Structure 1
Amino acid sequence: MNNKYEGTVMWSHLDANMHMRHSAYADFAAQARIVVLERLGMDMRAFKHLHIGPILFREELIYLREVGLNEQLTVTVELTKSRPDASRWSIRHEIFRADGVKAAVVNVDGAWMDLHKRKLTTLPAELLEQFSSLNKSEDFQEEGA
């Protein structure tokens, strides 16, 4: 499964120091998650139909190297933790510049929300199977329910 997203740093991603602003790293990671989930068949139409959406509890950004205007970035998406029913999960994103240098790591912890009840929920069986096929990190941990 292709667990990568590629994008270009735009002018709007820059800060006053002319390098990528902190929140743009989070935006690249979020876009990578959405693109990779869509490749698994978990697109926004499916979520809308089921009244389910992904939510985050925690987002951690670790900055390693500067990123500038018009740089090509590759963002990886790997599942690092999940409950067997995928009701809670963690994903690690690594952001690489075109020269292969790792620029940042973004770790997120999330769950699924029933958008009508505004409460946490689990995925239906067909989406659970798709989510479970997400690439797992070498240090992947399955957590108890």
Structure 2
Amino acid sequence: MNNKYEGRVMWSHLDANMHMRHSAYADFAAQARIVVLERLGLDLEAFKRLHIGPILFREELVYLREVGIKEQLTVTVELTKSRADGSRWSIRHEIFREDGVKAAIINVDGAWLDLHKRKLTNLPEELVELFKRLNRSPDYQEE
């Protein structure tokens, strides 16, 4: 399973110091999550049909190196923790510059939201099996 997303840093991602602004790292991680989930079959159409979507409880960013304009970034997506039914989960992203240097680590904890009831929900069984195909980190833990 391809657990990577690639994207280029644009002018709109920069801050006043001419390097990638803090929130742009989170944007790259969010895009990577959506792209990798889509590859698994958990796409926006399925979420729309079932009236559910991912929601974050926590997002932690650790900045390691500067990233500049026009750099091609690679963002990895790995499941670090999950309940057996996939209802609650944690994902680690690592962002690499085009020279291979790790620029950031982003850890998120999340769940699934019923968009009508505005309450936490479980994935339907057919999507649980797809979610379980997400690459797991070497330190993965099942709750």
TM over 0.5: yes
How high is the sequence identity, in percent, across the aligned residues? 84
> RMSD of the alignment, in Å?
0.3
Q: Equivalent residue for 1:33?
A: 33
Q: Does 1:67 align with 2:61?
A: no
CA distances 1:8-62 after superposition (whole Å, capped 9, x unpaired): 0000000000000000000000000000000001110100000000000000000
In the alignment, structure 2 segments of 5+ residues that lack a partner are: none
Q: Equivalent residue for 2:115?
A: 115
Q: Equivalent residue for 1:86?
A: 86
Size of the aligned set, in residue pairs, is: 143
In the alignment, structure 1 segments of 5+ residues that lack a partner are: none
> Equivalents in 1 of 2:83, 2:40: separation in Å?
19
Please give the TM-score of this superposition, normalised by the length of structure 1: 0.98
CA distances 1:62-88 after superposition (whole Å, capped 9, x unpaired): 000000000000000000000001110
CA distances 1:84-139 after superposition (whole Å, capped 9, x unpaired): 01110000000000100000000000000111111100000110000000000000
Please give the TM-score of this superposition, normalised by the length of structure 2: 0.99
> Equivalents in 2 of 1:116, 1:8: separation in Å?
35
Moved over 2 A (4+): none
3-state DSSP class of the match of 2:55? strand
